[in-house]
């Protein structure tokens, strides 16, 4: 598995609060949930082939 890349993220407080609650509902960390949402969006948009994500597991 490749090392994860770190970077600062500026986010609207209301969006953060919504993601924070959503992450708790899904039993994920906030960071893990943001990564999940980004990954799912990238796959749906055809920017990240699902098969590439399966290789990392």
Is 6 within a domain?
no
pTM score of the predicted model: 0.80
Angstrom distance (rounded) from CA 25 to CA 32? 13
Total count of domains within the chain: 1
The whole-angstrom separation of Cα 18 and Cα 7 is: 21
* Mean local confidence (pLDDT), 2-21: 95
Confidence band, pLDDT 50/70/90 cuts, at residue 35: very high
pLDDT of residue 55: 62
Residue 14 structure tokens = 């209301």
Answer whether residue 51 shows pLDDT above 90. no
Expressed as residue numbers, the domain containing 32 is 13-56
The answer to whether position 35 is within a domain reads: yes
Q: Is residue 21 part of a domain?
A: yes
Which one is predicted more confidently, 39 or 54?
39
Report whether pLDDT(4) > 60.
yes
Domain presence at residue 5: no
Residue 22 belongs to a domain: yes
8-state DSSP, 45 = T
CB atoms within 10 A of CB 20: 13
25 inside domain: yes
């Amino acid at each position: 598995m490749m090392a994860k890349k770190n970077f600062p993220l500026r986010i609207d407080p209301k969006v953060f609060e919504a993601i924070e609650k959503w992450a708790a509902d899904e039993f994920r960390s906030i960071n893990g949930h943001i990564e999940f949402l980004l990954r799912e969006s990238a796959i749906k948009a055809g920017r990240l082939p699902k098969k590439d994500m399966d290789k990392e597991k």
